[in-house]
């Protein structure tokens, strides 16, 4: 063999930019799909779709589904399904609404709107959601009832227990402290949003640098410096652009005037203020980060993926899969309670139809985000992006006058196509036949 042949044989294969940056191909595909949706509706609506006001509304409306989708990733990864999340949201919302408006004020003799009542209400809601989820997990894990049956039963049971809890009546919620968890009533303002955005950007850069140093210290291969710089720049750019865009959405003058009057003050002439980041979106970010860390850095998360990859092998290796199943469903119930709190705060009331069909949207978000129904594969950021894509589709179609039935048809088609693409992708990698 000639020296040139040896050199050619020993030369490393050329890697694409995507390979060098180590970007998940499925994530890239979802981002391209999201960009396509945004571009189509931006042109169709003359730019209104990407306006600060509509971006704010889409972000707020995405939160409840995205939070529950984070929990659904763990459920599906573990080879289960939860069809009761919408009904659990309604049940937790009913308990919290009645606790705050009637039960706790009567029990302790406190006025509606007392901060202590709100704190106790939230704790009751979280405990309720966790308990319902744990009950489902116990039936699935220890009694070996298929999760499809258990949660299908839960869908009917909790939806109707919710009705009896409020005697079939809607409950109006006007406590300003509660409404802060909703949409426009709970925002940070432009200045605080920018400060928080800069802090988040700094943390993201530090995390990238720290991860690189850890790999180098243990002798692992690292990306080229330019690749790390590009990734850091993209992340920082997305964070600051999102903060800056929402900080351009002004609070209506009439609302500002009412806020000043509530404090016994007169609004200065020409005074303006911006919405900035909604508190509900911050809660979603915290949930997503916590769930990602749980999935990647904790024993609990590793056990979930191990059980989803091969349940029999996981059990033989010493993992208590029954107890793990209870924990997974309990976590799902907890997140349903958080989503219920945010949903009722955004709507400023609890209605019997709250959370209706949300279980389908949650499962669709997780699947569109790359979670494999066969188990063992899934990401939190994918589920959040899946929820965002679905909400963007529905919002865009509503803006251009598409009827609701056709909106649901499109969402259903997107779900089927997403699963089909995932199957083709896994076949290409040789993961399935």
Q: What per-residue confidence (pLDDT) applies to 433? A: 57
Mean pLDDT of the chain: 89
Choose between 171 and 269: higher pLDDT: 171
Q: What per-residue confidence (pLDDT) applies to 261? A: 80
Long-range residue pairs from 214-223, CB within 8 A, at least 24 positions apart, any chain? 223/20, 223/21, 223/22
What integer is the mean pLDDT of 141-153?
96
Whether pLDDT at 191 is above 80: yes
Q: For the segment 85-98, what is each residue's pLDDT rounded down to a tens digit?
A: 999 999 999 999 99
What integer is the mean pLDDT of 77-91?
95
pTM of this structure: 0.92
DSSP alpha helix (H) spans, 109-146:
115-141
> What percentage of the chain has pLDDT greater than the value 90?
61
Residue 274: beta bridge partners?
A: 250
Among the listed residues 92, 117, 94, the one whose alpha carbon sits nearest the alpha carbon of residue 106: 117
The length of the chain in residues reads 433
Whether pLDDT at 132 is above 70: yes
Lowest mean pLDDT across 52-56, 340-344, 376-380: 376-380
Q: What per-residue confidence (pLDDT) applies to 150? A: 97
pLDDT band at 6 (very low <50, low <70, confident <90, very high): very low
Whether pLDDT at 37 is above 60: yes
pLDDT band at 20 (very low <50, low <70, confident <90, very high): low
Q: In the Cβ-directed half-sphere of 426, how many Cα atoms lie within 13 Å?
A: 18
Long-range residue pairs from 224-233, CB within 8 A, at least 24 positions apart, any chain? 224/20, 227/20, 227/21, 227/22, 230/21, 231/21, 232/204, 232/205, 232/208
Rg (CA), the chain: 24
Q: What per-residue confidence (pLDDT) applies to 5? A: 47
Place of tokens 């499809």: 148
User: CA–CA distance from 72 to each of 15, 65, 120, 297, 414 (Å)?
Assistant: 35, 10, 27, 19, 18
pLDDT band at 338 (very low <50, low <70, confident <90, very high): very high
Extents of the domains making up the chain: 51-185+278-355+372-385, 187-275
DSSP letter at 113 equals T
């Amino acid at each position: 063999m000639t020296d040139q042949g040896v050199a050619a044989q020993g030369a490393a294969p050329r890697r694409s930019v995507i390979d060098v940056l180590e970007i998940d191909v499925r994530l890239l595909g979802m981002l391209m799909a999201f960009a396509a949706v945004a571009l189509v509706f931006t042109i169709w609506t003359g730019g209104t779709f990407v306006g600060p006001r509509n971006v704010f509304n889409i972000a707020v409306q995405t939160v409840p589904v995205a939070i529950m989708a984070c929990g659904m990733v763990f459920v599906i990864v573990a080879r289960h399904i939860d069809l009761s999340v919408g009904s659990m949201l309604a049940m937790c919302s009913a308990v919290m609404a009645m606790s705050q408006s009637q039960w706790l004020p009567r029990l302790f003799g406190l006025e509606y709107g007392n901060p202590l009542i709100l704190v106790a209400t939230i704790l009751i809601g979280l405990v309720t959601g966790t308990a319902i989820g744990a009950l489902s997990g116990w039936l699935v894990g220890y009694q070996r009832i298929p999760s499809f049956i258990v949660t299908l039963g839960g869908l009917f049971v909790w939806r109707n227990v919710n009705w009896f809890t409020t005697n079939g009546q809607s409950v109006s919620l006007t406590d300003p402290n509660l409404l802060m968890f909703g949409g426009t009533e709970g925002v940070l303002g432009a200045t605080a949003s920018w400060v928080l955005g800069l802090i988040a950007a700094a943390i993201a850069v530090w995390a990238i640098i720290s991860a690189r140093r850890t790999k180098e210290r243990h002798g692992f291969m690292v990306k080229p410096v330019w690749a790390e710089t590009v990734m850091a720049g993209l992340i920082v750019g997305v964070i600051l652009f999102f903060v800056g865009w929402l900080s351009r959405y002004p609070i209506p003058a009439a609302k500002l005037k009412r806020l000043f009057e509530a404090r016994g003050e007169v609004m200065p002439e020409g005074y303006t203020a911006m919405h900035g980041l909604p508190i509900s979106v911050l809660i979603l970010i915290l949930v997503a980060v916590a769930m990602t860390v749980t999935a990647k850095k904790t024993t609990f998360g590793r056990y979930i993926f191990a059980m989803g990859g091969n349940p029999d092998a996981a059990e033989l290796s010493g993992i208590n899969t029954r107890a793990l199943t209870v924990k997974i469903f309990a976590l799902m119930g907890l997140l349903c309670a958080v989503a219920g709190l945010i949903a009722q705060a955004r709507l400023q009331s609890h209605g019997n139809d709250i959370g209706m069909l949300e279980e389908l949207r949650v499962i669709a978000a997780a699947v569109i985000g790359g979670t494999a129904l066969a188990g063992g594969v899934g990401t939190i950021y994918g589920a959040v992006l899946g929820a965002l894509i679905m909400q963007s589709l529905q919002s865009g179609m509503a803006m251009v006058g598409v009827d609701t039935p056709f909106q649901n048809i499109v969402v259903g088609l997107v779900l089927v196509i997403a699963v089909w693409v995932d199957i083709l992708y896994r076949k290409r990698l040789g993961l399935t036949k």
